[in-house]
Every structure is written in C-alpha cells, then in structure tokens.
C-alpha cells in the first residue's frame, strides 16, 4: 500500500502555497492527491490511513469548492534517498506518529475498564456494575476482540467476577500476525497463546509486545500499530482489564457488532446497584475503612471497592479497585475525568 507516498506528495505540494493563485493550486493538488489514492485503492482497501485520506480529500474539496474535473499537479521528483527524519521513513506500524503527520495533531484516545464484580467503565465514562455470568464481549471491532468470562463471586451469589479474559489482536497485513492472549485466575502469562511475546515475523512485528509488570499478576500489552495499550491484572480471585485505545480504533465497528460492554455498558437487565444490602461477608463500615486506605476519594471506584469487599469477604478486592484507578490515571486522556461520582 503506497498511501504514505500519496500523503507526502500532497503535503509537499501544498506546504508553501501563498498568494492570489493559492485556491486554484490547492484544488490542483487535491485532485492529484485523489488520483494517487485511486491508483493505490486495490492494495490499500484494508488500510486505515487510506480510508482516512479518501474521506479527508472529499471534505477538503467540498470546503474549498474544488471541482473533481481539472488539471492535476505533476508528481514531485522523488529524492535519491529518504530523509531519515521525514515521513518517508516513518514506520507505518506506528499509529501515533503516522496520525500526527497526516492530521497535524495527536490522535484522541478513549479508556475502558472492567474490574471487580465486574464494574464497567465505558469509553463514554459511564459506570455500571453488572450481573453478567458467562461470556460477554468487552470489545468487538475491526482490530480487537476482547471477551470476559464471569462466574459467581461465591456460591449462590448474584455478584460475579471475571475469571477469564481472551484478547484477539486481528491480523494486520503490514504489521502483525493474528495473536491471541488468554489469562485465567492464577495464570496471567507474559506471552501470547503461541508462546511468542510480539506480533510475529512481519516487518512491524515489534509494534505488538507484552511486558510483565508483576510476575503472574500484571501484564501490559502495547499495540502501537493501532495506538492501543492494554493492562491485565489479577487481584484476589478476580481478573481486571483496562485499555487506552485510539478513538478511531475504538469506533471501527459495524451495527452488527452492537454488544460491546466497553461501548454500551451492561444491558439494562444486567445492571446492579452498588449499595451493599442485606448481610454481607464483611460489615459495610469495615469495608469502607479498608477501602479508604487505598482509595481516599469516595468516587465510583471507592463504592465498587466497598461493594466487592462486603459481597466477597475478600479484602484483596481493595487492590482490584486501586489497580483500576491507577490504570485510569495512566490511560485517561483527560485527568479531570479520573473520578466519577454517582
């Protein structure tokens, strides 16, 4: 796919446009850009940068009243060797750098988390506590599939916890082979299912990598080819999942992929109140004191912590809420959205 060449030729043609003839020269450059994308359409059909460029050209032509028919600029002569600091040498599997070059700004990011009961923080900063026994998709888009399997926190309890996580990084031609990561209680590996720790033998294989943060308890998976970082943790008898995803990636799904807890939260029939009711395994006042040690701000993470400790009797659940809050602190694009109060 030669879309990056089209992009760089367009940038070079418009970089220094000034004066009264700027509009006609700009339209000429846009038509040339459009012609270049059409020539590379067959090999670029599955490329995110290609589709972004096509839509961008259409918008710019409308904004500048450019006709689709007319002269096109001659391609600029290619230099004998690429500039080591220019876009020609940018790695196509580095999403953030590519996006910055194409759009002149860094990409936007979104954050989702699932921890404890499970409690879900969606990409839109909604917060739900779910009764979701069985397997449910957290994400299902063009690049990622993430499934959480839940089971009762204790026998006969309505509350459930995540006992298994399956993450599929879908095949991306230039960058990675399809990779599957699976974690279960007491088995949080620092490798994919095939034993590898990166995206495979393709040129961009290193753009997907696993890093162990705490042996058997906390791993971080960086997928720089899609601008995404995932954290998987175990605290007590539950697994937690956190993600920082490029907005463009998080939104790349169809109407058929409508059940994603990270996008829509829990279905209404599966939502629970976080107010501890009835007789728990730990008194609510004791749970609040334990949670306050780890979570001094009484937000939804604190409420979730109290709920989990009361329901399960496992004081390690304070670590689950604390870990989710720490991931949010790292992953959230806007620090003012860290705490949610309900």
7: Cα separation from own chain's centroid: 25
Taking the C-alpha atoms of residue 38 and residue 6, their distance in angstroms, rounded to an integer, is 10
Whether the upstream peptide bond of residue 217 has omega within 30° of 0, thus cis, is no
Please tell me the predicted confidence (pLDDT) of residue 80: 37
Taking the C-alpha atoms of residue 43 and residue 170, their distance in angstroms, rounded to an integer, is 18
pLDDT in tens, 113-152: 999 989 999 999 999 998 877 899 999 999 999 999 988 8
Taking the C-alpha atoms of residue 5 and residue 210, their distance in angstroms, rounded to an integer, is 31
Taking the C-alpha atoms of residue 317 and residue 303, their distance in angstroms, rounded to an integer, is 12
pLDDT in tens, 28-86: 888 898 898 888 888 887 777 888 888 888 888 888 888 888 888 655 444 434 444 44
Q: Which of 127, 140, 201, 212 is nearest to 170 (CA)?
A: 140
Tell me the backbone φ, ψ of residue 66, rounded to 5 degrees. -85, 135
DSSP string, 73-133: PPPPPPPSS--TTSGGGS-TT-HHHHHHHHHSSPPPEEEEEEETTTEEE-TTS-EEEE---
Q: Where are the domains of the chain?
A: 2-64, 109-270
Please tell me the predicted confidence (pLDDT) of residue 87: 41
Identify the DSSP state of 270: G
Could you tell me which residues are beta bridge partners of residue 137? 147
Please tell me the predicted confidence (pLDDT) of residue 112: 97
Please tell me the predicted confidence (pLDDT) of residue 303: 94
Q: Which of 230, 118, 223, 131 is nearest to 178 (CA)?
A: 223
Please tell me the predicted confidence (pLDDT) of residue 241: 98
| Complete edge-to-edge strand list for the sheet that includes strand 119-121 | 208-214, 218-223, 228-235, 238-246, 109-115, 119-121, 127-130, 271-272
Model pTM above 0.85 = no
* Each residue's pLDDT expressed in tens, for the chain with a length of 342 residues: 778 888 878 877 777 776 667 788 888 888 898 898 888 888 887 777 888 888 888 888 888 888 888 888 655 444 434 444 444 445 789 999 999 888 888 999 999 999 998 999 999 999 999 887 789 999 999 999 999 998 887 676 666 789 999 999 999 888 999 999 999 999 999 999 999 999 998 889 999 999 999 999 999 999 999 999 999 999 988 999 999 999 999 999 988 887 899 999 988 888 887 775 555 778 999 999 999 999 999 999 999 999 989 988 888 899 999 999 999 999 998 888 999 998
Collect all residues with Cβ–Cβ distance below 8 Å to 208 and sequence separation of at least 6.
Answer: 169, 175, 176, 179, 198, 199, 221, 222, 223, 224, 225
**Which run of H or of E encompasses 228?**
strand 228-235
CA distances to 217, 258, 269 from 140, in Å: 25, 8, 21
Regarding the domain with residue range 109-270, which homologous superfamily does it belong to in the CATH classification? Mog1/PsbP, alpha/beta/alpha sandwich (3.40.1000.10)
Please tell me the predicted confidence (pLDDT) of residue 293: 95
């Amino acid at each position: 796919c030669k879309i990056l060449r089209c992009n760089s030729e367009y940038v070079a043609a418009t970089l220094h446009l000034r004066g009264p003839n700027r509009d006609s020269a700009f339209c000429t450059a846009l038509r040339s850009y459009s012609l270049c994308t059409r020539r590379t359409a067959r090999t670029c059909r599955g490329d995110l940068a290609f589709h972004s460029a096509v839509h961008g050209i259409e918008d710019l032509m409308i904004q500048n009243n450019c006709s689709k028919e007319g002269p096109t600029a001659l391609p600029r002569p290619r230099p004998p060797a690429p500039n080591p600091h220019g876009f020609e040498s940018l790695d196509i599997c580095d999403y953030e750098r590519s996006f910055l070059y194409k759009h002149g700004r860094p990409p936007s990011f979104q954050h989702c988390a699932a921890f404890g009961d499970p409690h879900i923080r969606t990409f839109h900063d909604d917060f739900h506590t779910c009764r979701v026994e069985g397997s449910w998709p957290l994400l299902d888009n063009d690049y990622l599939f993430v499934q959480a399997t839940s089971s009762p926190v204790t026998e006969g309890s309505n509350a459930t916890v995540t006992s298994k996580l399956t993450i599929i990084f879908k095949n991306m031609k230039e960058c990675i082979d399809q990779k599957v990561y699976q974690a279960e209680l007491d088995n949080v590996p620092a490798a994919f299912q095939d034993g590898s720790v990166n995206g495979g033998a393709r040129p961009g294989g290193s753009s997907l990598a696993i890093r162990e943060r705490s042996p058997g308890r906390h791993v971080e998976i960086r997928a720089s080819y899609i601008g995404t970082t995932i954290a998987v943790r175990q605290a007590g008898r539950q697994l937690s999942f956190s993600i920082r995803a490029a907005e463009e990636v998080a939104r790349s799904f169809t109407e058929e992929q409508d059940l994603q807890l990270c996008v829509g939260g829990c279905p209404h029939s599966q939502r629970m109140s976080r107010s501890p009711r009835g007789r728990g395994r730990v008194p609510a006042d004791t749970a609040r004191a334990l949670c306050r040690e780890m979570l001094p701000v009484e937000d939804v993470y604190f409420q979730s912590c109290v709920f989990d400790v009361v329901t399960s009797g496992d004081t390690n659940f304070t670590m689950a809420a604390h870990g989710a809050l720490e991931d949010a602190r790292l992953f959230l694009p806007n620090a003012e959205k860290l705490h949610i109060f309900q």
